[in-house]
Amino acid sequence: MAETVIEVRGLRNQFGTHVVHDGLDLDVYRGEVLGVVGGSGTGKSVLLRTIAGLQAPAAGEVRMLGTDVYRAREAELQTLSERVGVMFQDGALFSSLSVVENVEVPLRAIPDLTAETREALARLKISLSGLPWNAGDKYPAELSGGMRKRAGLARALALDPEVVFLDEPTAGLDPIGAAAFDDLIRSLSRTMGLTVFLVTHDLDTLYATCDRIAVLAEKRVLVTGTIDSMLDVDHPWVQEYFRGPRARAARDAIAAHSARE
């Protein structure tokens, strides 16, 4: 049996009288890339922020790496934060800091780490993210959208996390840039043994990177399974999403890529 590293039970998220999630359950297993999809308003990013400890739910329980995210003591939460990385849309970088300084931010929490070591580690993570060697000295405004996303990923990887949360990592990228980012995610998940929680609407990303899919609908996780198993789910949104023309194009592209390999 695969180890469960994220366990969500009975989750309820709401804003005023608007209920986004109600009775939501979800398990995420060590080493997998889980893609979270759903229609507009189903709370994909809300779920990510809740599991990552950034937004308290109205009810329910979230356990990650053995820690109760909303009931643990401060020292336990600090230890947990060092085992988790988060990449927000467009990188969410500090505009007044260079890329290397942005990546150094999480590293500053490590005691007795010299400035030289901190910079060396930051530049290593920048290299792992696929950015060119000189990108570390640039500021976010000097980077393209794809480069900012890679810089955000480098910062998320700064502390060698076990779990990484990615919020719409390929949104706004051209097809070539998105495909390259998909390859990077898959490669890093395998080489670093990462567990990846990935919110996306991009079918190409789902086919290229994900081991399992979780579909949000009706205020809960409607179904989880492999992307192929989604074809058999008897639900109108799931059928439209995974059997539509864009889904067929994504399947054909992956099949052609596999044939070339």
pLDDT at res. 1: 67
pLDDT of 259 strictly over 70: no
pLDDT surpasses 90 at 177:
no
What pLDDT, on a 0 to 100 scale, did the predictor assign at position 146? 86
Q: Which of 170, 203, 171 is nearest to 185 (CA)?
A: 170
CATH fold, domain 4-83+163-260, is: Rossmann fold (3.40.50)
The chain-wide mean pLDDT, for the chain, equals 91
Q: What is the mean pLDDT of residues 128-154?
A: 91
C-beta separation of 194 from 83 below 8 A? no
Residue 175 confidence class, pLDDT cut points 50, 70, 90: confident
Would you state the structure tokens that stand for residue 240, as one six-digit string? Answer: 């439209």
Q: What is the pLDDT of residues 12-53, one digit of tens each?
A: 999 999 999 999 999 999 999 999 999 999 999 999 999 999
Q: Which helix (H) or strand (E) holds 150?
A: helix 145-156
Q: Which residues does 115 contact at the CB level (< 8 Å), separation at least 6?
A: none
> For 50-73, what is the mean pLDDT?
96
Which tokens go with 1? Answer: 């049996």
pLDDT at 173 over 70: yes
pLDDT at 261 over 80: no
Segment (H or E) for 38:
strand 33-38
pLDDT higher than 90, residue 122: yes
Q: Taking the model in full, what pTM does it have?
A: 0.91
60 vs 256, residue with greater confidence: 60
How many C-beta neighbours within 10 Å does residue 85 have?
26
Instruction: Please provide residue 182's backbone torsions phi and psi, each rounded to the nearest 5 degrees.
Output: -60, -45
User: Worst-scoring range by mean pLDDT, 12-26, 220-234, 243-257?
Assistant: 243-257
Share of the chain above pLDDT 90, in %: 72
What is the C-alpha to C-alpha distance for residues 203 and 28, in angstroms, rounded to an integer? 20
Q: Are 26 and 70 in contact (CB under 8 A)?
A: no
Domain extent listing, the chain: 4-83+163-260, 92-160
How far apart CA 84 and CA 95 sit, in angstroms, is 23
